[in-house]
Amino acid sequence: MKDLDQILLNFSPSGLMLLNAILAIVMFSIALDLKIGDFHRIARAPRPLLTGMFSQFVVLPALTYVLVLVVQPRASIALGLILVAACPGGNISNFITHRAGGNTALSVSMTAFATAAAILVTPLNIAFWGSLYGPSRKILHETAIDPVQIAITVGLMLVLPLILGILLNTRRPELADRMRRPMQNLSMLIFIAFIVLALAANWGFFLDYVHYVALLVILHNALAYAGGYVTATLARLSPYDRRAVTIETGIQNSGLGLILIFAFFGGLGGMAVVAAFWGIWHAVSGLALAALMSRKPAAR
């Protein structure tokens, strides 16, 4: 069996373009829930949003680095965990927050702001935390990762659709209302179908190597939820807001992670398996956590 750090997954350039387009549609559908006025309200009471951003982009990457230091995984697996932790919140976090009885408006706003911030913060976090761990530092040096190119990729794929969705909802709210539910349902179905097809093309490889990352991803995901919960609790957020921050920290945009892995790391095996299993597991854990939280209404 080949070394996981040396294996590259099968993923065509056309497949990468399709995944870019799908994530752009997903972000556009999320933005249809936002208006410019929502940002004004957050500006007047920014603590929950700032807490969520801090949890997402500081607490989670730091916890991930500690996990990597303790476990000492293979280089590609370590960098996969760091890359996922550097991504903004995932597109299903808003749906799961709603199911959990948390502040859905805050969740949507955190996704929007984190996505915009990801242009700068995601490449910086990958470069900073990845370079602190010796084995993953070697991969970063060999790939000569370009933070500017990552920023452009994130901007075109996530931020531009976000701006277009907000503008449509602000200027043509009746059209946005008609489009919102069908777009959100369609985008989620397409996204799930694409991940299934991408996995199917590499199914043998995935089954051979998933056991290397399964336990680590489950632990990493649990740390993410715990980090979000503790950060929100220390910030004295209401239980209603705390649920949103907890879920937003634990649901990562692994689709963006896969795009970055295929675009900048050549589909490196360990990284790709981490991101793919994250994409499956965080949906399972998120829905389970939402079912648990929803048993008791959250005080606002």
Task: Check residue 232 and give its pLDDT.
Answer: 97
Task: Check residue 126 and give its pLDDT.
Answer: 93
Q: What is the CATH number of domain 13-293?
A: 1.20.1530.20
Q: Look up the pTM and report it.
A: 0.84
∠ at Cα 216 (210, 221), nearest 5°? 110
Reported as a single tens digit per residue, the pLDDT across 208-240 is 777 778 899 999 999 999 999 999 999 999 999
Check whether 293 has a pLDDT greater than 90. yes
| Residues 60/299, Cβ–Cβ less than 8 Å | no
Mean pLDDT of the chain: 84
Reported as a single tens digit per residue, the pLDDT across 25-73 is 877 887 787 777 767 777 788 999 999 999 999 999 999 999 999 999 9
**Which pair of structure tokens corresponds to residue 272?**
């790709």
b/e burial code for range 154-181 (CB count within 10 A of at least 16 → b): bbebbbebbbebbebbeeeeeebeebbe
Question: Which residue from 254, 200, 207 is spatially nearest to 81, judged by alpha carbons?
Answer: 254
Read off φ and ψ for residue 89, nearest 5 degrees: -60, 150
Q: 1 pLDDT band (50/70/90 cuts)?
A: very low
Residues 6+ apart with CB under 8 A from 51: 231, 232, 235, 237, 241, 245
Q: What is the mean pLDDT of residues 104-119?
A: 86
Q: 10 pLDDT band (50/70/90 cuts)?
A: low
- What is the rounded distance in angstroms from the CA atom of residue 40 to the CA atom of residue 34? 11
Residue type, 176: A
Helix (H/G/I), strand (E/B), else coil: 252: strand
Q: What is the mean pLDDT of residues 13-23?
A: 69
Check whether 197 has a pLDDT greater than 70. no
Task: Check residue 254 and give its pLDDT.
Answer: 82
